[in-house]
């Protein structure tokens, strides 16, 4: 059997990058974004957070989108040899560590100019790239009174949303946690062609690649009457795989989220 065609369901910008990577590995892939990302204005709370980076021992970014919203993608944002606005000295800025849940976020931090030596992320061989795997790396840094900023997403109404496991764990350890809304997530409005493609992919052998349970929830919202019993899904976390099963997907596999593992999993389903 040929390698299945893959539908990438990440937000548009991320989906395009994944389509390119999969195509480079000889896998036919197309984007069907199921999460719409709207950055918060680079003023107000985000501007205050940027000015106060040096007040924190660590800044945890939940995703590459969080990095872009707070820091932009211009490495000139960090000119580590001069004082940064709102921070007493360049050394104060350098002492702030960035916490990343996975390689995509880490690459966004590096593109924004954050020194790689000041980035903490899960071990390369971690079973998953998530908050629990990140905690395994950063827990030794945490002490009572440690100040941590979490840069995260929210729902369409602007309320913080998503897993708050790490925030709770930090607070239990005595850390002082602040959080700032970087972007809003919402279900997309699918164009007629996208709706038709999604319905066709429910039964034509296409492999749905899910990296978020929210994408599955949005798919169900967009197509509430669709029958997914003949659909196939590859999920990058066991929790996401369970969400696909709960949605009615007939065949569900899970994989580590690293590109090499995703490619190997797709090829194994040929």
For every residue of 218-257, DSSP letters joined together read HHHHH-TT---TT-EEEESSHHHHHHHHHHT-SEEEE--S
Going from N- to C-terminal start, the domains of the chain cover: 6-35+189-268, 38-186
More confident residue, 86 or 72: 72
CA atoms lying within 13 Å on the CB side of residue 255:
22
Q: Which CATH class is domain 6-35+189-268?
A: alpha beta
Domains 6-35+189-268 and 38-186 share a fold: yes
Does the model's pTM come out above 0.85? yes
Report for 40-44, 83-87, 93-97, 147-151: range of highest mean pLDDT:
147-151
Residue 68's nearest CA partner among 17, 9, 129, 8 is 17
Residue with tokens 């995509």: 104
CATH of domain 38-186: 3.40.50.10090
| pLDDT tens digit sequence for 12-22 | 999 999 999 99
Residue 160 tokens, joined: 């913080």
pLDDT in tens, 189-227: 999 999 999 999 999 999 999 999 999 999 999 999 999
Which of 234, 240, 255, 224 is CA-nearest to residue 163?
240
User: What would the pLDDT profile of 23-72 be if each residue is shown by its tens digit?
Assistant: 999 999 999 999 999 999 988 899 999 989 999 999 999 999 999 999 88
Are 163 and 60 within 8 A, CB to CB? no
Phi first, then psi, for residue 111 (nearest 5°) are: -60, -35
């Amino acid at each position: 059997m040929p390698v299945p065609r893959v539908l990438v369901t990440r937000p548009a910008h991320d989906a395009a990058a994944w389509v390119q990577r999969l195509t480079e590995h000889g896998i036919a892939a197309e984007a069907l974004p199921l999460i719409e990302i709207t950055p918060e204005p680079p003023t107000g709370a985000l501007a205050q957070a940027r000015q106060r980076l040096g007040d924190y021992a660590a800044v945890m970014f939940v995703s590459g989108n969080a990095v872009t919203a707070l820091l932009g993608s211009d490495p000139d944002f960090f000119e580590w040899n001069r004082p940064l606005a709102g921070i007493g000295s360049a050394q104060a800025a350098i002492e702030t560590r960035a916490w990343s849940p996975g390689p995509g976020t880490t690459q966004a931090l590096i593109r924004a100019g954050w020194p790689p030596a000041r980035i903490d992320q899960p071990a390369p061989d971690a079973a998953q790239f998530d908050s629990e795997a990140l905690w395994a790396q950063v827990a030794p840094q945490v002490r009572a009174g440690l100040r941590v900023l979490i840069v995260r997403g929210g729902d369409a109404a602007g309320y913080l949303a998503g897993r708050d496991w790490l925030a709770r764990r930090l607070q239990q350890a005595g850390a002082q946690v602040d959080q700032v809304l970087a972007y809003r997530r919402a279900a997309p409005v699918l164009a007629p062609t996208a709706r038709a493609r999604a319905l066709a992919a429910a039964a034509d052998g296409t492999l749905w690649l899910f990296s978020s349970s929210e994408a599955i929830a949005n798919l169900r919202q967009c197509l509430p009457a669709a029958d997914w019993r003949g659909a196939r899904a590859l999920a990058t976390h066991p929790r996401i795989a369970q969400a696909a099963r709960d949605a009615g997907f007939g065949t569900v596999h899970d994989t580590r989220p690293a590109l090499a593992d995703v490619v190997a999993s797709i090829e194994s389903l040929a």
